[in-house]
């Protein structure tokens, strides 16, 4: 019964996200939004798919470089795990942790990583992605806030400053996190809240030593280059949305697009485990409206961008998941 209530809660949250999006578009004029989408320049729309592909390629290369600090994993296998995980997250938006679980399980079963270490490399990848987005958003929000329409300068300077302060605070917390990860009492405390199915003994140290290998990739092995590559990966999403707006005849400043994309994707990811469908689109549209872009154009541009994002993720990710499934069914070679 408890699981049933949790499912109902997630479905209700997902329905609320969709309702927000529908309400936003209904206020703008859905017929005009659809008409703009149909009249968009198809060549610019096709061009907008290229940065989405670049986003995943940069992301995959970044994660492969991180994994190879532990042991070699090919770029092909890294991209396959990444895209399969993205497919799960796109198709089960009420449980966005599923993609990370798949990636960690594949690292464990197919590439010889300990289970805690596999989750650690997924965590390090996700955190550096967030840091890269925060760095880009904070920098452009402060710079672009000075060019924003009257009355919104302070909001963007403040939000950008807070983003950069949080970025610095997370980096500054790394030494303390490293010390905490080596504390057996802290590990034992967190172990009490760990689901039984995840309490798989590591080859060394037993279940009580799971926290240190979980945090080691992030606090000891992740570097500046990972964050910078994440920034470029996130910038590719911004470029895709800018090209989508270009297909509708709008040349939006880079800072404006980056702010809208950052707010939208952070909102969607933040509410994802509870049901973030529609949240990203509604948030992006709201930011564009506030920044002075015509409402119908903003909604059409956001929806076309997200359609391209889903198209690439679902096609590439679906094929990757099929390949992962076949490989997981084949026993790994004996050492």
Q: So what's the pLDDT on residue 227? A: 93
Q: So what's the pLDDT on residue 255? A: 81
Whole-angstrom CA distances from 196 to 33, 205, 258 are: 49, 18, 41
Domain count, the chain: 1
Is 40 a member of any domain?
yes
Give which of 242, 248, 238 is closest to 41, Cα–Cα: 248
DSSP string over 50-96:
HHHHHHHHHHHHHHHHHHTTTS---HHHHHHHHHHHHHHHHH-TT-T
Is 188 within 8 Å of 194 (Cβ atoms)?
no
Residue range 180-219, pLDDT digits in tens: 666 666 666 655 555 554 555 544 444 445 677 777 888 8
| Residue 309 neighbours by CB distance under 10 Å | 22
Give which of 105, 66, 59 is closest to 82, Cα–Cα: 59
Residue range 85-136, pLDDT digits in tens: 998 888 775 556 788 889 999 999 999 998 888 999 999 999 999 999 889 8
Is 216 a member of any domain?
no
Whole-angstrom CA distances from 51 to 92, 171, 238, 312 are: 24, 28, 8, 11
**Inter-residue long-range contacts of 34-42, CB under 8 Å, 24+ positions, other chains counted:** 34/300, 36/248, 36/296, 36/297, 36/300, 37/300, 37/303, 37/304, 40/244, 40/247, 40/248, 40/300, 40/304, 41/246, 41/247, 41/248, 41/249, 42/247
Is 319 a member of any domain?
yes
More confident residue, 259 or 335: 259
Give the global pTM. 0.81
Is 93 a member of any domain?
yes
**Phi and psi for 12 in degrees, rounded to 5?**
-65, -40
Q: So what's the pLDDT on residue 229? A: 95
> Of the segments 5-14, 50-59, 96-105, 267-276, which one has the largest average pLDDT value?
50-59
The CA-CA-CA angle for residues 20, 23, 25, to 5°, reads 110
Q: So what's the pLDDT on residue 72? A: 95
Q: So what's the pLDDT on residue 288? A: 86
Q: So what's the pLDDT on residue 207? A: 47
Residue 80 confidence class, pLDDT cut points 50, 70, 90: very high
Whole-angstrom CA distances from 214 to 114, 124, 169, 221 are: 9, 9, 20, 12
Q: So what's the pLDDT on residue 93? A: 57
What's the whole-number average pLDDT of the chain? 78
**Inter-residue long-range contacts of 3-11, CB under 8 Å, 24+ positions, other chains counted:** 9/274, 10/94, 10/95, 10/274, 10/275, 11/94, 11/275
Is 183 a member of any domain?
no
Q: So what's the pLDDT on residue 30? A: 58
pLDDT of residue 240 exceeding 70, the answer is yes
> Which range of residues forms the domain containing residue 230?
2-171+222-329
Is 215 a member of any domain?
no
Is 180 a member of any domain?
no
Is 190 a member of any domain?
no
More confident residue, 173 or 232: 232
pLDDT > 70: percent of the chain: 69
Q: What share of the chain is helix, strand, coil (3-state, %, to 5)?
A: 80, 0, 20
10 Å CB burial of residue 180 (0-12, 13-18, 19+) is middle
């Amino acid at each position: 019964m408890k699981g049933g209530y949790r499912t109902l809660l997630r479905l209700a949250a997902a329905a609320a996200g969709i309702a927000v999006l529908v309400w936003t578009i209904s206020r703008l004029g859905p017929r005009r939004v659809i008409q703009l989408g149909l009249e968009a320049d198809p060549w610019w729309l096709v061009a907008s798919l290229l940065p989405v592909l670049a986003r995943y390629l940069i992301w995959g290369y970044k994660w492969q470089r991180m994994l190879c600090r532990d042991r070699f994993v090919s770029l092909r296998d890294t991209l396959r795990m990444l895209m399969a995980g993205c497919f799960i997250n796109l198709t089960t938006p009420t449980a966005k942790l599923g993609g990370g679980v798949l990636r960690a399980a594949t690292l464990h079963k197919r590439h010889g990583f300990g289970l805690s270490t596999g989750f650690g490399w997924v965590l390090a990848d996700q955190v550096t992605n967030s840091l890269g987005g925060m760095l880009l958003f904070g920098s452009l929000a402060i710079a672009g806030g000075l060019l924003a329409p009257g009355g919104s300068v302070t909001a963007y300077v403040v939000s950008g400053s807070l983003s950069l302060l949080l970025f610095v605070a997370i980096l500054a917390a790394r030494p303390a996190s490293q010390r905490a990860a080596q504390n057996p009492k802290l590990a034992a405390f967190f172990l009490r809240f760990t689901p039984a199915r995840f309490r798989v003994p590591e080859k060394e140290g037993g279940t009580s030593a799971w926290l240190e290998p979980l945090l080691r990739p992030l606090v000891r092995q992740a570097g500046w280059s990972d964050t910078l590559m994440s920034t470029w990966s996130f910038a590719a999403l911004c470029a895709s949305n800018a090209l989508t707006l270009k297909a509708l005849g709008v040349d939006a400043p880079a800072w404006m697009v980056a702010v809208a994309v950052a707010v939208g994707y952070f909102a969607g990811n933040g509410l994802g485990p509870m049901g973030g469908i529609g949240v990203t689109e509604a948030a992006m549209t709201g930011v564009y409206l506030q920044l002075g872009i015509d409402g119908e154009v903003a909604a059409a541009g956001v929806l076309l961008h997200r359609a391209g994002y889903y198209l690439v993720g679902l096609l590439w990710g679906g094929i990757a998941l099929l390949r992962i499934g076949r490989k997981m069914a084949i026993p790994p070679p004996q050492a």
